[in-house]
């Protein structure tokens, strides 16, 4: 292994990951500075049921009109995020546990997931460019985040699929892009998962308190 690849897949990743962690901690400290808002009205429903329903909403596609009317859209959502997890896992497996990619079917499963996520990412980019309504509400970060994620999938898939005689090129490209991604993510829409619990708890608590929550969710939460 060349010194460049050794440093890229170890020290550089640790520095980039530490930077991401520090920015996330600062963001969380900023969020926790906001005081908790107290409801001043009588409860018309269950805040707990609202919070529970809101937090679990991502796992209940039948509650969202977009995925209820088009289940394929939800499958694409799941595969796209599975691809993100596979690429992130690969950045740890290759330098620290490369034996996992030998046998056990891990490599082909990860490769298939990454290729599927890559195709879905390209489809999402084409949809965002083609539809006037989406273009109108898209920011430069929407495009850049999606393009970087697509390239992230492509380099991860190439790292798994490239024959040995291609040398270290695919690995250098993957780890260089991973480091860049780790530095960019905290300032982009990709870090939406950091805000997810806060926005969902606030929204669920508010709507649940006001009684705007599906009866099924309230039955599950309180047995009413």
Q: For residues 44 and 169, what is the distance between their CA atoms, to the nearest angstrom? A: 61
DSSP SS3 for 70:
coil
Instruction: Enumerate the H helices of the chain as residue ranges.
Output: 3-7, 13-31, 47-55, 65-69, 71-96, 106-130, 132-137, 140-161, 169-184, 192-209, 215-222
Q: Per-residue pLDDT for 224 more than 80? A: no
Q: What is the pLDDT of residue 70?
A: 82
Q: For residues 75 and 54, what is the distance between their CA atoms, to the nearest angstrom? A: 20
86 neighbors 116 (Cβ within 8 angstroms): no
Q: Per-residue pLDDT for 102 more than 60? A: yes
Average per-residue pLDDT for the chain: 88
How does pLDDT run across 115-170, given as a tens digit for each residue? 999 999 999 999 999 999 889 999 999 999 999 999 999 999 999 998 888 888 89
What number is the average pLDDT over the span 7-25? 92
Measured from the Cβ of residue 195, the count of other Cβ atoms closer than 10 Å reads: 12
Q: What is the pLDDT of residue 146?
A: 94
Question: Which of 157-161, 173-177, 210-214 has the least mean pLDDT?
Answer: 210-214
Q: What is the pLDDT of residue 119?
A: 96
Q: What is the pLDDT of residue 150?
A: 95
How does pLDDT run across 47-95, given as a tens digit for each residue? 888 888 888 888 888 877 777 888 888 899 999 999 999 999 999 999 9
Q: For residues 114 and 139, what is the distance between their CA atoms, to the nearest angstrom? A: 26
Q: Per-residue pLDDT for 220 more than 60? A: no
DSSP SS3 for 138:
coil
Q: Per-residue pLDDT for 221 more than 60? A: no
What number is the average pLDDT over the span 21-49? 87
Q: Pick the more confident residue, 41 or 178.
A: 178
Q: What is the pLDDT of residue 149?
A: 94
Residue among 144, 138, 128, 133 at smallest CA distance from 180 = 144
């Amino acid at each position: 292994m060349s010194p460049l690849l050794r440093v890229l897949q170890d020290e550089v990743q640790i520095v980039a990951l530490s930077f991401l962690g520090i920015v996330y901690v600062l963001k969380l400290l900023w969020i926790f500075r906001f005081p908790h808002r107290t409801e001043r009205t009588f409860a018309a429903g269950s805040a707990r049921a609202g919070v529970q329903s809101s937090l679990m909403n991502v796992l209940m596609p039948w509650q969202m009109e977009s995925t209820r009317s088009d289940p394929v859209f939800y499958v694409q959502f799941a595969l796209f995020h599975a691809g993100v997890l596979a690429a992130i896992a690969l950045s740890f497996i290759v330098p620290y546990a490369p034996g996992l990619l030998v046998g056990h079917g891990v490599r082909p499963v990860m490769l298939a997931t990454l290729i599927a996520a890559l195709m879905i990412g390209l489809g999402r980019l084409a949809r965002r460019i083609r539809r006037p309504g989406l273009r109108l509400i898209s920011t430069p970060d929407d495009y850049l985040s999606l393009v970087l994620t697509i390239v992230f999938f492509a380099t991860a898939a190439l790292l798994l699929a490239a024959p040995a005689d291609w040398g270290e090129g695919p690995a250098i490209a993957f780890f260089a892009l991973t480091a860049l991604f780790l530095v960019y993510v905290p300032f982009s829409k990709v870090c939406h998962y950091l805000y997810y619990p806060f926005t969902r708890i606030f929204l669920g608590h508010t709507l649940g308190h006001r009684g705007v929550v599906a009866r099924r969710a309230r039955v599950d939460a309180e047995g009413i």
